[in-house]
Amino acid sequence: MQLTIHQLSKTYSNGVKALDNLQIEINSGMFGLLGPNGAGKSSLMRTLATLQIPDTGQIVFDGIDILADPMSLRKVLGYLPQEFGVYPGMSAEYLLDYFSLLKGITDSKSRKKLVNQVLELTNLSEVRNKNVDSFSGGMKQRFGIAQILLNNPKLIIVDEPTAGLDPAERNRFLNVLREIAITNIIIFSTHIVEDINGICNELAIMNGGKILRQVKPAEVPELLKGKVWTREVPVNHFELFEKTYSVLSSSYLQNGLIGVRVYGDQLDEAGFSPAQPGLEDFYFQTLLNDR
Amino acid sequence: MFWTIARFEWRYWFKNPAFYIYAGAVFLLAMGSMSGSAGALGAGSANLETIANSPWNIFSFSRFFNKILFFLVPAVVGASIFREFSSKVNAILFTYAFTKSDYLCAKFFSSFTIIALIALMVELGLVAGTLLPFVNPSQVLNFEFRSYLHTYFLYLLPNLFLCSCLVFASVSLTRNVYSGFVAIILTWLFREIWFRWTGNTYSQNFIGLTDPFGETFIDSFVRYWTVSERNLLALPLPLDFLLNRLIWLGIGVIILFLVYRCFSFGEPVVWFNRTSKNAGRLIRNNFGSITRVRIFNPMPGFGFEYRILTIWRRARIELSYIVSSGGFLLLFLGGGFFLVVLLQQVNPQTDTRLLPVTWSVLGLPVFFFTLLIQALTFFYAGVILNRPKLAGIADLIHVTPVSNFISYISALLTLVLLQLILSGLIMGVGIGIQLYHNFYPIEPGHYFFNLICLHLPGLMIWAILALFIQTLFHHTYFGFFVLVMIWLAIPNLDSLGMAALVFKFNQDPYPDFFLKYSDLSHFGNTLRSFYFFKSYWFLFGILLGCLTLIWWQRAHLNSYMERIKTGVHRFRGVLLWVFCLSGLAFLATGYTLFNLEKHPDNIIGPVDSERELMIRFEENYGHLKLIKQPRIRSVFIQLDLFPETRQFTARGTYRLVNHHTSAIDTLLIKTGFDEITVLAAGSPWTALIVDSFFKFSIYKLESKLEPGDSISLKFELKNKPNALLVQQSNVLENGTYLKSDMLPRIGYFATGPIMLNDSSKIYNHYQSYDEDLVDFEIIMSTSRDQTAIAPGKLIKVWEDRGRQYFHYKMNKKIKLVLGFNSGRYSVYSDQHRGVDLKIFHHPTHTYCLSSMINGLKSSLDYNTSYFGSYPHQDIKIIEFSRAEGSYATTAGNVMPISEIRFIQDIKKTGIGQIDLAFYVAAHELTHQWWGNQVIPADAPGAPLLTESITEYITAKIYEKTYGKKNALKFIDIQLKRYLNGRGQAPSEEFPLIFVSPEQSYISYGKGAVVFYTLSEYLGEEKLNLILQSFFNQLKNQPPPYPTSLDLINHLKQNTPDSLGYLIKDMFETVDPAISLRPYYHLFPDQ
């Protein structure tokens, strides 16, 4: 199973180039799409979910040209947008039943069984009769997952799903995703690096409507080996420091100094000590590179 | 802070194209209305008598625009306050450092000024309309600033202020943008209900003060204004009106204050949608862990079952959303209450009420109510289309494999179900009212047919259009505005040269045909063309449906360019084929209908105005005016009616006599609009001119007709073939009433305007120019199950080849004013003073028979006691279909009366309401003396001798049966008829003595009041004796016929000198201040 995106471009009427000749191939498993806000992640996701029409380009999933034949894709698509609402006054069970009907389950008994299962799976069984519009953020997000699972999707697109979840919810959520990713493609966008770490088979870093890098998370330490350095600097030196080095990240320390991670070769002479490179370093380095 | 918020709001509106579109549309519409009324669209397009920019007219226009502006209030004021909630800025904004009063005042003030600006465009548009180059200068007065100023500041602005307060309150308290719309509709509904409810019970002043829009005071002031007063006088501004404005301004302010008290930046105060029972405490449990995901995996299917189920489910969800909202519930209850009030309403003109027969329930009330359904369709089309997006669920739904077609059909189904629910309300209320009145039988089938088969198709087509427009704009209020504009524009297509029916979206060939349902003839021939046109517009609906699918918003489309691109992309395959095929079918049907409409078979009579025709006729044939013509002395007719096919054929023979002193060699013959197949004189003649346009021919007799000699004239005629759009014959399936206008007549028929000095007219009686009185005999046939009735004594009845034949013969000469009736009748018989009384009525119409009989009996008693015996042996009242009209008349011994008089509610007779059934019978019978024995000349004032006296005598007969109080009520109604009539009459008013036949408001209305007043001064007996001596002098007088001058002279001679002024004031003076003074003197409280 493969998703191929070929030379995808989209310019909004306000002149913003959301997708810029984007090209990528995605294979089965969990695929992380990492990028800052406004990088074009949501545009790409919406385009993949047939909700937006690109100016040019081609998208083929499992033999389906989804721009020419969006209906075929929709039959095997699960999509969780970044933000969604529901009709007020409707229970989780009723809405899921409705969605499963929309997704083609016409037999009401099968629907009932299916809905029960996804409610169980997303741990919503107890609140099945409560109105979804009264759910907390995490419960609503779980409802979002529940509706994805209804049609046994082959392609799942989840747009920044972990925003607003508490740590326990986030964990559980990611676990469910990982579980269903084994045989399918899940495209998962986020701007939080930890989300990707450990659960994605592959990831891409996106900015300005382009894919900057596409790697497997496991390869990252090797790629940056010996290139990430760290040092503590006083606050008043930081500005000068930023101009001199490629600063990947910085954070205040308890002792009033700033801990800085920089990218570079042989910086031990300049008072830096080598650091264990991580995905975050890779992410920032990629963005810096693109500047 | 106030100004910061207000400025922000203004900037928003001034950058918003919707503001300019609202303002521009209102401006153009106002300009168009004004210039149209001032004759900008060419001669004949406007009423020349009215001044277009008279203060009254400016007010009337503003009144119309007031209604449109009301619907912009939720779109502007409501949207303005709602924006904070919808964009969810409220959470941030409301924490800023401004006070509640700053915020609310600024919001209200700024959005109200926007509405006020749009309203100003109305007045500017009206001014601009008078300045256009093509207006008729004689219909435009000099610009008068005051008129516009008053209308704007005392009428439009206070009303809009009140509405803005209501909308502001409902939206800010419920935080639902649609509640503003509901508030407007409810305000309007409850105002209507209030006025209809209180109509006769409270004082005018109280009702006026309770009118939130202040129209009542102005109306009651202007009600009896004549045309010239309406043209010239400034708008009255009585103190009460100003008080009303103050009261309602105050109420608006109080509402605003209450909003201020109740409003909180946090939670909404009132939930517009009922909170669900499902809400409850939520327990958080999210610490479990997942290791395996295994889901039951049923096979999805996307076939027929899928489509049906999804359409149905989506429609159910949307519908239950609509009907479970508090706003809809209020609308539903308000609408039901409105229907009840409409159905209970008393006809204010005659102070009478019809029985709740099903068609009357389904008539006007349903007409008004379907307008409400239509408005709700426009509105809810937007609501349901925009709902997924507003709820945020759109993306989740759009990625499912539901096709746009399914979504579209389910939206359409939702609207149709909504329409059905509201139609059901009509049926429920209607049947409820019938049960309440103990009125049986209940006719569910009739309800069903009317609501489902007649009204629903039109509403469905509106729903299709509404979905199209709302899809196009995706903005509920804006879409609603556009739809209302379209609806208002349709009747005005005429002025753009698109008068043909094929251009008028969703209009019926007979726009009010469902108001003319008859229990006798049902819908007549109108249904065929109705369904033809509805099918035509359904084809258009399919086109609209395709376009809607092309524009359907599923993906996130950012610009119109993108939408067009997507649309073009979608326009292929099945959609393309359906569009092309239905487009072809639509064009073909349209072309056919367009040509059909112009085809002579589908036109009745000439299309030019009667006035123009007369002028043209006089130009062509004026020289024949004085040619001496023979008179018709006897008439024999064989008339065959075919109710099943609604056709007739007639053969007839006249005997014409030369009553002049010189010979006649030329015959002028005017025929009706039916087809004449044979026309032959008893001696040879040659046609000089046969004018098929005017149906007028001139023949030269080969041998002259000497004085005293007679000649026969034979004719045969049949109706022109009935066509799709027009039934050429007046034969109905049941309850037919044909008149003598189908018969050929002799002589120069165009009489032109009444000339006071044309003395030759006293040789003609007022109803014809070619006969005095005639012998009459007829053989009439009709279908076997019907009875045919014509004037005369029934000589023979027989059946031949499945048809029923009737032979009637008059044993006295009668006027050549005939009626030929046929129908399936039951007969009600009685006898009085040796006269047989028969009523031929529709079997179920038995409600008023005894009233009618009583009317006949009382009339016989009263008239016989003063004016001698009844001239014939029997009286036959015949019910005819209301498709022919709602009047009554008398011809020989028959008295055709419209079915409408057979279903009067006479239960309250004697306690305030007039018994119209009694009244009509008594009135028509009185004509046997006044009108058929005393026959006035064809001169000004003729109706004084017939209608005025008859109406007076009827009042007296009424008094004998129902007492003086009710008779005075009757006279009061006549007074109002007169005063109302003056206000609407287009032509110059004459005094009673010269009243012309079309001025019935004078001859009936003023005439009854004046004679009744005279009887009060002279005494009833004394006046009747004066009338008696006049009657005895002139009854059955051959030409010259009496005129009103004879009566006035007679009255003057027999009135004491001290009261002589009465005759002069009341009969010879126009001004009601003088002519009605004696009446007001006697009855000062009227």
Under the phi-then-psi rule, with left for phi > 0, alpha for psi from -120 to 50, and beta for the rest, what region is A38? left
In this structure, the answer to whether residues A99 and A137 fall within a common structural domain is yes
Closest CA to B1014 of B930, B952, B924, B1073: B952
- Does a structural domain hold residue A242? yes
Write the secondary structure of B516-565 as one string of H (helix), E (strand) and C (coil).
HCECCCECCCHHHHHHHHHHHHHHHHHHHHHHHHHHCCCCCCCCHHHHHH
Please name each of the domains of chain B with its CATH number: 2-262 (no CATH), 304-598 (no CATH), 632-749+758-819 (2.60.40.1730), 825-905 (3.30.2010.30), 930-1086 (1.10.390.10)
Crossing angle, helix B949-962 and helix B916-926, to 10 degrees? 130
Residue from A103, A141, A143, A176 whose CB has the most chain B CBs within 10 Å, to mutate: A103
Using the Cβ of B965 and the Cβ atoms of chain A, whether some distance falls under 8 Å is answered with: no
Which of B85-94, B349-358, B804-813 shows the highest mean pLDDT?
B804-813
Interatomic CA distance for residues A3 and A27, integer angstroms: 6
Q: Which of residues 687-726 of B touch A (CB under 8 A)?
A: none
SS3 B746: strand
Model confidence at B284: pLDDT above 50: no
Shared domain for A161 and A123, answered yes or no, is: no
Is pLDDT at B1009 greater than 90 in this prediction? yes
Asked whether residue A113 is domain-assigned, the answer is: yes
Q: Is residue A48 part of a domain?
A: yes
What residues in B contact A85, CB-CB < 8 Å? Answer: 391-393
**Residue B794 and residue A114: Cα distance in Å, rounded?**
84
pLDDT at A78 exceeding the cut of 90:
yes
Q: Examine the domain organization and report whether A166 and A183 are in the same domain.
A: yes
Segment B647-681, tens digit of pLDDT:
999 999 999 999 999 999 999 999 888 888 899 99
pLDDT digits (tens, 9 = 90+) for B230-258: 888 888 888 889 999 999 999 999 999 99
Segment of A167-176, A259-268, B341-350 carrying the highest mean pLDDT:
A259-268
- Run of H or E including B916: helix B916-926
In the listed set A199, A215, A231, which residue is the last one of a domain according to the structure? A215
Positive/negative CA dihedral, B127, B132, B138, B139: negative
The answer to whether position A12 is within a domain reads: yes
Residue B158 has pLDDT above 90, yes or no: yes
Q: Is B561 on the interface with A (CB under 8 A)?
A: yes
Query: How many domains are there within chain A?
Result: 3
Residues 637-656 in B contacting A (C-alpha not used; CB under 8 Å): none
Regarding whether A119 and A180 lie in a shared domain, the answer is no
- CB contact at 8 A, A79 and A109: no
Mean pLDDT of chain B, nearest integer = 88
| Residue in B699, B629, B696 with CA at minimum distance from that of residue B664 | B629
Is residue B283 scored above 50 in pLDDT? no
Query: With an 8 Å Cβ cutoff, is B295 touching chain A?
Result: yes
Does residue A142 form part of some domain? yes
Task: Please determine, for residue B288, whether its predicted confidence score (pLDDT) is greater than 60.
Answer: no
CATH of residue A157:
3.40.50.300
Domain range for A132 is 89-147
Would residue A109 count as lying in a domain?
yes
In angstroms, what separates the C-alpha of B399 from chain A's closest C-alpha? Answer: 6
Verify that A62 and A96 share a domain, yes or no. no
Determine the pLDDT at residue B266: 63
Q: How large is the average pLDDT for residues A95-119? A: 93
- Residue A273's Cβ-count burial label (10 Å; 0-12, 13-18, 19+) is exposed
Residues A9 and A143 in one domain: no
Within this chain, do residues A282 and A160 fall inside the same structural domain, yes or no? no
* Chain B residue numbers touching A183 (CB-CB < 8 A): none
Instruction: Choose one of A215, A234, A268: the last residue of a domain.
Output: A215
pLDDT of residue B751: 62
Give the pLDDT mean for B1060-1065.
92
B355 φ, ψ to 5°?
A: -65, 150
| pLDDT at B366 exceeding the cut of 80 | yes
| Amino acid present at B817 | V
Do A41 and A166 fall into the same domain? yes
Same domain, A157 and A72: yes
Same domain, A57 and A117: no
List pLDDT tens digits, range A3-18: 999 999 999 888 889 9
pLDDT tens digits, one per residue of B907-920: 776 666 789 999 99
**CB pair distance less than 8 Å for B309 and A101:** yes
Tell me, yes or no, whether A14 and A33 share the same domain. yes
Q: Is residue A98 one of the residues assigned to a domain?
A: yes
pLDDT of residue A191: 79
Q: Is residue A162 part of a domain?
A: yes
> What are the beta bridge partners of residue B669?
B697, B746
- Alpha helices (H) along B74-99: 79-86, 90-93
Compute chain B's Rg from CA coordinates.
34
Length of chain A counted residue by residue: 291
Contact B1009, B1079 (CB under 8 A): yes
* Residue B305 sits at the chain A interface (C-beta within 8 Å): yes
Average pLDDT over residues B1035-1054: 92
Q: What is the ipTM of this complex?
A: 0.92
A139:B282 CB<8 A: yes
Query: Is A131 within 8 Å of A91 (Cβ atoms)?
Result: yes
Same domain, A43 and A165: yes
